[in-house]
A and B are shown apart, each in its own frame.
Chain A
Amino acid sequence: MSTKEELFFLDSPHCGSLYYHNVYSFYDEPIIFTALNEFEQLFFCYSLGCNDSHDRWIIVPTSQDKVNKLEQKDLSIVKMIKPSAKAKVLLVNIDLETFAVTESLTQAKTLPYKMPDESIFIRENINYDGKRKFSHKVRIARKTQTPLMSETLNKVSEVFIEFCRHYLNKFDIPVSWYAQDAIEGSFVYRMKTVTKDEDKFMTDGYRLLSEISSYNNFVNSLEEREVDLRVTRKLFELISTNNIEIQLIEENSTNVILNLNSSYIQEILPRVDDMLGTYLDSTMVPQADSLHRIQKYLNIISEKRTVKSGDLGVDPRQVSYYRDACKILSLIHDYSSLTPLGQKVASSNNEQEWIKIIQRQFEESDCGNLWMLNQNVESLIEIDEQSASEFLIQNCNGLSDSTSIRRAKTLKSWVKTFKAISKSA
């Protein structure tokens, strides 16, 4: 972080000692920026350049609310200088030889200088004093006047970040997103991102995210199975049914990295739905070889006990695999208590009965159903279990070949058990 001396801009008789805060334009020195004085009061500073004898500046006292609007591009640069017809601004002249500072208050509307057009907004925003704790903004807007339900707002921002995180993860760019605060009077959240490789995130990551806004690029990504379709569908549903526009904005460049609106979503949604019918990812594929251990897991839950690795006879990592398998089979709820079918499996003493229940549940799961469709069979009893590895390698998002082979072991093991039980019936 810079020292006070390094941040010093000007000793102003009217404004106090001014220190650089956020810089919006730079040429040899910051030329458009906000400054803070020793009392943390905000000033908008605008360079008029030098004439033969003086370095000339306009300084306007301002507020955080106005700075927020400037930084969100709701307020143009000239509107910061001339906020109203009656507004007065401070004209500051710094003598080029003696460095003496002279100031005069002038009515903004009579300023005899060339001013930026009303359509000119800031194009970058570099924090100089290290006081900014966020790196990105998530901005949610709605075209209609009807109020936005708070749960919709919360849900859409949560799923949007989940979507960005999943998408970047697919390209090995893990990013953690931390909410910092929100801008009063708007649906703008300020976030801090943390990633190990900042350069990769800012180059490859930004490019990948911005390509989502392009129909052809995104369809290509869908076809290449680079997208978590379930998170995508969840986000697109929220955007389209609530007529929302959502943007990810990088603070330094002020660039919109990703922009999703309902008209774009409606264009692309049919393609997402087409692919969703045959979508499989690693979270949908079980990794729990023993069906008897699944029943054991359910037994422990039904006894209101916490499942421990020793109870199952597996290493601690595998406890969560069995929990996930129970969820895939709809035998436990997301909140880990038994479903009615889970209760039935847990309490059954008839192996034929409970294994049949699990078979039916797996046949109706995405993974089991797609595998049967892929192999053109009506029941898992008819399937060739040796096809499991190839099926996962060809169809499962986000699984390497070696992981597919490992997961296929579970599928093979289950089918062998289903077949054995079927034969003994």
Chain B
Amino acid sequence: MSNNKKWSSDYPTHLVIPPLNSIEINKVLFRFVINREPDHSDFLPSFKDPSQRHLGRRANFRNNPRFYGTSFFNTESKMKSLQEESPEKFSEKRIAKGAILPKHGKGEIGKSEHVSMWFYEGVYPEGFKVI
């Protein structure tokens, strides 16, 4: 994992990414992953994730910095709620837990326990474990 603290050169130029109000995060967070041993492919930002990048067709995603970040949640119970509400959508997904640290990038704590993270170029949070 490199740690050059540069932002992705793929970010669009018409948006400020990460947003100016984003902050360094030092928290244990949760995310749905595919792999039993999560790797970089489990932490792709939405605009690079094969199952989500089509959303960029819509202006509300394309023009939203969060589309260029990776989603996490604050609690395991929130993840379980999502699975209960949408068992088909998350049937192939596993809940992973791990630490997000300032060295990974910057984030924005949003509503409904959601945290958006923008990782430095070539960086993803190693050490996430499926629970």
Cβ-closest chain A residue relative to B57: A99
How many chain B residues touch the partner (CB < 8 A)?
Answer: 28
Contact B54 A49 (CB under 8 A): no
B10 contacts the other chain (CB 8 A): no
Which residues on the A side are within 8 Å of B91 (C-beta)? Answer: 49, 114
Stretch at the interface among B16-24, B80-88, B98-106, B121-129: B80-88
Q: Are A32 and B86 in contact (CB under 8 A)?
A: yes
The docked-state distance in angstroms from the alpha carbon of A400 to that of B96 is 53
Known A48-B89, A55-B54, A124-B112; contact A6-B84, beta-carbon cutoff 8 A: no
In the assembled complex, the CB of A47 is this many whole angstroms from the nearest CB of chain B, namely: 5
With A and B bound together, what is the CA distance between A32 and B51 in angstroms? 17
Segment at the interface with B among A21-29, A203-211, A238-246, A328-336 = A21-29
| Given known contacts A94-B54, A96-B50, A126-B111, A8 and B60 CB-to-CB distance under 8 angstroms | yes
Q: Is the CB of B86 within 8 A of A96?
A: no
Interface size, A (range):
35 or more
A284 at the interface (CB under 8 A from B): no
Map CB proximity to A onto B107-121 as digits: 1 under 8 Å, 0 otherwise: 000011010000000
Q: Is A105 an interface residue (CB 8 A)?
A: no
Q: A32–B85 Cα gap in the complex (Å)?
A: 9
B46 touches A28 (CB 8 A): yes
Partner of B55, one of A24, A29, A120: A29
Name the contact of A5 in the complex, choosing from B59, B87, B92, B111 (C-beta under 8 A): B59
The answer to whether B87 touches A114, judged by C-beta atoms less than 8 angstroms apart, is: yes
Q: In the complex, are the beta carbons of B32 and A123 less than 8 A apart? A: no
Q: Please determine whether A25 and B82 come into contact, CB atoms closer than 8 angstroms.
A: yes
- Min C-beta distance of A44 to chain B, whole Å: 13
Question: Does chain A have a CB within 8 A of B52?
Answer: yes
User: Among residues 4 to 49 in chain B, which have CB atoms less than 8 Å away from a CB atom of chain A?
Assistant: 32, 46
Complex CA–CA separation, A376 to B91 (angstroms): 74
